A and B are shown apart, each in its own frame.
Chain A
Amino acid sequence: MNRPSENVARPQTEWSARSRELGELLARSGMGDRAAFARLYELSSGHLFAVVLRIQRDRTLAEDLLQEVYIAVWKAAGNFDAARSQPLTWLTHIARNRAIDSLRRAQTQPQLQTSHLGSAESDDEGDVTDRVAADGPGPLDLLDRACDARELETCMERLSPPQRQSVALAFFDGLSHAEVAEHLREPLGTVKSWVRRALQTLKTCLERGALRDQAS
């Protein structure tokens, strides 16, 4: 399997570094500082847009969503507590939440026109295949890159390939259990238990890693 080059910065530490930068801007935005909010947008909108786009493939809807995200951020910035979570985590949660909420059962059909390059033909094909990113890195590749961090990589290796794939599809591309099952052509119950086990394994493994770090 191809591994990302050594030059790729370790994602976990980069996450914290980017968060720190945003923390001050978020605090000032909470007090009404517009310039700080504009700078916050500058630094974070590329990331949040990418997060939204993977889940809400329709570009127009994604742009509207991004607006809603930042308006919500401005209004809630005064409530942000730096001790409870990291700024980038907080921002990403708002973006993902809105994107997931924007998905409806039968929504994928009308989207085919705007999000797929020249694709009148696949209306009757599984909508699910269009929900999975056609261009750009697949969810497993993203998981791979993200797992460059030592602990996460070790933990991910404990998962079976179907477990990893299910979790990656659900998490990055916002597929529901039913959609993952359809995409992988597996029973719904099987997929649910894969996702459940994957999450449990991740948690246990990360906690063990944290304890190890504390002890050393």
Chain B
Amino acid sequence: MDYARTPLADMLAAQYVAGTLRGGARRRFESLLPAHPALRRSVADWQARLLPLTGSLEPVAPPTTVWRRIEARLWPAPAATPALPWWQRLALWRGLSGAALAAFAAVLVWQAQPQPVLPPVVVVLQGTGADPGTAAPAGAMQQALFVASVSGDGAALTARPLAPVALSADRVFELWSVPPEGNPRSLGLISGSQPTVVRRDRLPQTLLKGGTAALAVSIEPPGGSPTGVPTGPVVFAGKLQL
């Protein structure tokens, strides 16, 4: 079956969202979704039409035990070791891979300018595995790397993709400084195909003094996030190791 927007496929999507598609048919339909973007769009359209109807339901407060059980399962209390800071749970902190070490070397070679008194700090941002959705092919982010080079005095930052990473025309990359606590802070939009220099006045003063624990890249609409925190998937991240 051609899962472009045929009337039959659209009606299946409608039945799926309405809830009348059941059992084996429902499971089969769900298994088709990852590979058929047109079908996903149909589902999204039907969700937008039908789900707001549930707004007429009176809310029912669940018992407090439900939240406690959620907490216990998601964040089990550590035995004796202190809890990991939250950014360390982004999937990739297994140490630098071979590719990342190569990137490190490449950056040192590339920096042909006179060496500053303090050596530059290099952050390798690896793919987090987050789904880029329609912005890029699924596998594209996984292998790609960004390298951010921060001058030793913390006053200039250059972000560079190791190899060009393509995004659909209606999306941009945005770079974030992630502090140890609190909200990420935007460092502006960066290019997926060439180095971007982040203006000095956009960098936090405390960038290399503990104010930044990690750098991250998210996919945003043109102009960047409208809200001041990432709104799209976080596709690259790297810890700042001082």
Q: Indicate if the CB atoms of A177 and B20 lie closer than 8 Å.
A: yes
**B242 at interface, CB cutoff 8 A:** no
Q: State whether A78 touches B234 (Cβ < 8 A).
A: yes
Which residue from A32, A170, A202 sits with its C-beta under 8 Å from B20?
A170
A142 at the interface (CB under 8 A from B): yes
Nearest chain B CB to A147 CB, angstrom units: 8
CB atoms of B73 and A34 under 8 A apart: no
Contact: B47 with A85, CB < 8 Å?
A: yes
Shortest Cβ gap from A197 to chain B (Å): 11
Contact assessment for A54 and B184 in the assembled complex, using a CB-CB cutoff below 8 Å: no
Interface size on B, residues (CB 8 A): 59
Bound form: Cα–Cα A54–B209 in Å: 53
A215 to chain B, nearest CB (A): 20
Asked if A129 lies at the interface with its beta carbon under 8 angstroms from chain B, I say: no
Q: Would A171 and B53 be within 8 Å (CB), given that A50-B60, A63-B63, A85-B48 are in contact?
A: yes
Interface centre among A53, A81, A146, A195 (most CB of B within 10 A): A81
Does B227 belong to the interface (CB within 8 Å)? yes
Q: Once the chains are docked, how many angstroms separate the CA of A92 from the CA of B55?
A: 10
- Cβ proximity bits A95-111 to B, threshold 8 Å, 1 near / 0 not: 01000110100000000
Are A176 and B74 within 8 A (Cβ)? no
Q: Complex Cα distance A133/B43, Å?
A: 27
- Whether the Cβ atoms of B59 and A32 lie closer than 8 Å is no
Interface residues of A in 73-106 (CB under 8 A from B): 74, 78-86, 88-89, 92-93, 96, 100-101, 103
Say yes or no: is B110 at the interface (Cβ < 8 Å to chain A). Answer: no
How many Å lie between the Cα of A81 and that of B131 in the bound state? 9
Instruction: Pick the contact of B59: A23, A46, A79 (CB < 8 A).
Output: A46
CB contacts (< 8 Å) of B86 on chain A: these are 31-34
Q: Are B20 and A51 in contact (CB under 8 A)?
A: no
Interface string of A139-161 (1 = CB under 8 A from B): 00011111000001000000000
Chain B, Cβ-Cβ closest to A149: B52
- Given A34-B75, A46-B59, A81-B133; A96-B19 close (CB under 8 Å): yes
Q: Does A14 contact B (CB under 8 A)?
A: yes
> Looking at the complex, which one of A32, A80, A146 makes contact with B56 (CB distance below 8 Å)?
A146
- Report B-chain residues with C-beta under 8 Å of the C-beta of A196: 11, 15
Let me know if A206 and B49 touch, CB within 8 A: yes
In the complex, what distance in Å separates the CA atom of A142 from the CA atom of B57? 7
Q: Which residues of A contact B15 (CB under 8 A)?
A: 195-196, 199
Q: How far is the CB of B176 from chain A (nearest CB, A)?
A: 9
Which B108-153 residues have C-beta < 8 A from chain A? 128, 130-131, 133-135
A-contact 0/1 string along B71-84, CB 8 Å cutoff: 00111000000000
Apart from the given pairs A34-B86, A136-B58, 17 other A-B contacts in the complex at a CB distance below 8 Å: A12-B55, A15-B52, A27-B227, A33-B86, A34-B75, A45-B66, A53-B60, A67-B66, A67-B73, A71-B70, A78-B234, A79-B133, A83-B232, A85-B48, A146-B53, A146-B54, A199-B18
